[in-house]
């Protein structure tokens, strides 16, 4: 629902979301203030009643926001781990094929270098735009074909080849997990629940009978905090998109430090 924010700088997203929440709250308070005071101002204990309802509703709404924020961060952290695991698997695989005889050694190392370069130059920019390019699959298939073409000529090569095939299986599994992690996103029904719950809490804020300035300050602070929470959830919702996206640094490190390219 908030995928549009990934096309903007992160600071602008923060200002837009929190500013909208504060602006709507302040406007609603100013527009409803006289009507609320006429309807409920003289009623004894009215503010206490609103406080009780806001407290009870706020507990459940805050719990919902907290659980969703925690789940979103957990998905983001898991995506970072997937990237690190895949990069480490590529580096290990590169070192193992370095023990192969020529011409397979150079052929397999070039395949892995091409795959890593493709991840950095093609895959990552596409992921930040919400797309998953298919070129990486062709490069993995090419490496697999070259790997299976090799036939060991002695027991030492058999051991190395078996270990390499096993490592390739781990790399392919890590790659699939990383690809699956790119398909995050909170279901729209949860977003609607968050937004509707926020509107209900802001309406309750408007029902207080307070001094003008105190009402605006308290309402603005509450709305700012609410907007900040929604911003946090939206910014981490898709871990590979936006300024806060998962970094490709593990692949950069492997490409430079392991492959020496």
Kindly report whether the global pTM for this prediction surpasses the value 0.75.
Answer: yes
- pLDDT tens digit sequence for 221-230: 989 999 999 9
Label residues 213-245 b or e (16+ Cβ within 10 Å = b). eebbeebbebbeebbebbbbbbbbbbbbbbeeb
Residues of the chain with pLDDT under 70: 1-2, 41-43, 184
82 exposure class (CB count in 10 Å sphere: 0-12, 13-18, 19+): buried
Q: Cβ contacts of residue 70 below 8 Å, gap of 6+?
A: none
- pLDDT tens digit sequence for 18-40: 999 999 999 998 888 888 877 77
Position 47 scores a pLDDT of 77
SS3 of residue 102 by DSSP: coil
Position 106 scores a pLDDT of 92
Q: Cβ contacts of residue 186 below 8 Å, gap of 6+?
A: 1, 68, 72, 233, 237
């Amino acid at each position: 629902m908030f995928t549009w924010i990934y096309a903007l700088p992160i600071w602008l997203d923060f200002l837009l979301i929190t500013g909208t929440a504060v602006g709507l709250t302040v406007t609603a308070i100013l527009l409803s203030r006289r009507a609320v005071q006429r309807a409920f101002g003289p009623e004894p204990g009215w503010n206490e009643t609103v406080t009780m309802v806001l407290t009870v509703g706020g507990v459940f709404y805050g719990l919902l926001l907290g659980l969703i924020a925690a789940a979103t961060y957990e998905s983001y952290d898991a995506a970072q781990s997937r990237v690190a695991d895949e990069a480490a698997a590529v580096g290990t695989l590169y070192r193992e094929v370095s023990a192969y005889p020529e011409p397979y050694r150079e052929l397999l190392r070039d395949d892995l270098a091409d795959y890593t370069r493709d991840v950095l130059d093609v895959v990552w920019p596409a992921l930040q735009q919400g797309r998953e390019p298919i070129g990486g699959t062709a490069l993995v298939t090419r490496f697999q074909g070259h790997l299976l073409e090799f036939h060991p000529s002695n027991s030492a090569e058999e051991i190395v080849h078996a270990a390499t095939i096993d490592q390739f299986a781990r790399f392919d599994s890590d790659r699939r997990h990383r690809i699956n992690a790119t398909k995050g996103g909170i279901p729209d029904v949860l977003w609607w629940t968050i937004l509707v719950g926020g509107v209900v809490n802001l309406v309750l804020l408007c029902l207080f009978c307070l001094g003008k300035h105190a009402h605006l300050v308290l309402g603005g602070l509450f709305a700012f905090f609410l907007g900040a929470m929604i911003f946090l959830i939206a910014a981490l919702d898709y871990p590979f998109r936006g300024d806060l996206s998962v970094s490709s640094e593990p692949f950069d490190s492997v490409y430079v430090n392991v492959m020496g390219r």
